[in-house]
Amino acid sequence: SIFDLNGVIEEDLQANAATTFRNYTQSGAELSGGSLATPVDKQYQDAKATDANISTIVMDGGGNDILIPATLFDPYGCRTKWYRWNISSSCRGLVEDQYVNAVNLLNQMDADGVDNVVWLGYYELPRGNANLTQALNYGDDLLGYACDVSSNANCHFVDPRGTVPASQVESDDIHPTVEGSHNLSAQIWPVLQPLL
């Protein structure tokens, strides 16, 4: 939903590239599984079924797998509290499961002949979700590792941490404003441009 909710990132990238891209993004999508939207791994399968000639993928994924349960009842203990300064071992396990899903997906993309993957990480969330920073940082660290080291894919991790101020995040304390989306697309474009 970082890409999908306002559509500005895709619009910016298409304008910069002077072309259009296929779009399979959905708000509420988890990396694998979930019931709110088609998961990212299935979105990839749908894209491949439509046209298997895929050279470059721009994506994110893994955030909703943490945020959806944390927003409801936080059953994994991903929110830090005054009495729990660190994320729980259950939260670490949840993040590590998503890391495995990410590596599996990247390896599948590589096996299918995808040349490049540009994976946008997550920025720190403000205000009411600031106590998810440790969980998202752990996730970003593992996603970056999945891209750079532990998968076979030619993956480029775009790490926006420290670059998106609270003023560029919607009042839901999750999604980027239009200005925030312009900020993120400006970080993606220098990575994507040489791959096109």
pLDDT 10s digits, 77-129 = 999 999 999 999 999 999 999 999 999 999 999 999 999 999 999 999 999 99
Q: Check pLDDT > 90 for residue 1.
A: no
Q: How confident is the model at residue 162 (pLDDT cuts 50, 70, 90)?
A: very high
Sequence-separated (6 or more) residues with CB below 8 Å from residue 188: 9, 13, 58, 118, 120, 158
pLDDT of residue 34: 85
Identity of residue 165: P
Residue 144 bridge partners (DSSP): none
Residues of the chain above pLDDT 90, percent: 94
Contact 5, 11 (CB under 8 A): no
Percentage, residues of the chain above pLDDT 70: 100
Q: Where are the domains of the chain?
A: 8-61+99-123+141-195
pLDDT at 150 over 90: no
Give me the mean pLDDT over the 162-178 stretch: 97
Phi, psi of 181 (to 5 degrees): -65, -40
**Relative orientation angle of helices 178-192 and 8-17, to the nearest 10 degrees:** 40
Q: What is the 3-state secondary structure (H, E, C) of 35-91?
A: CCCCCHHHHHHHHHHHCCCCCEEEECCCHHHHHHHHHHCCCCCCCCECCECCCCHHH
Residue 25 has pLDDT above 90, yes or no: yes
For the stretch 48-90, pLDDT in tens is: 999 999 999 999 999 999 999 998 899 999 999 999 999 999 9
With a CB cutoff of 8 Å and minimum separation 6, the contacts of 125 are 132, 133, 136, 169, 173, 174
1 or 18, which is more confident? 18
What's the pLDDT band for 36 if we cut at 50, 70, 90?
confident
Instruction: Say which amino acid occupies 134.
Output: Q
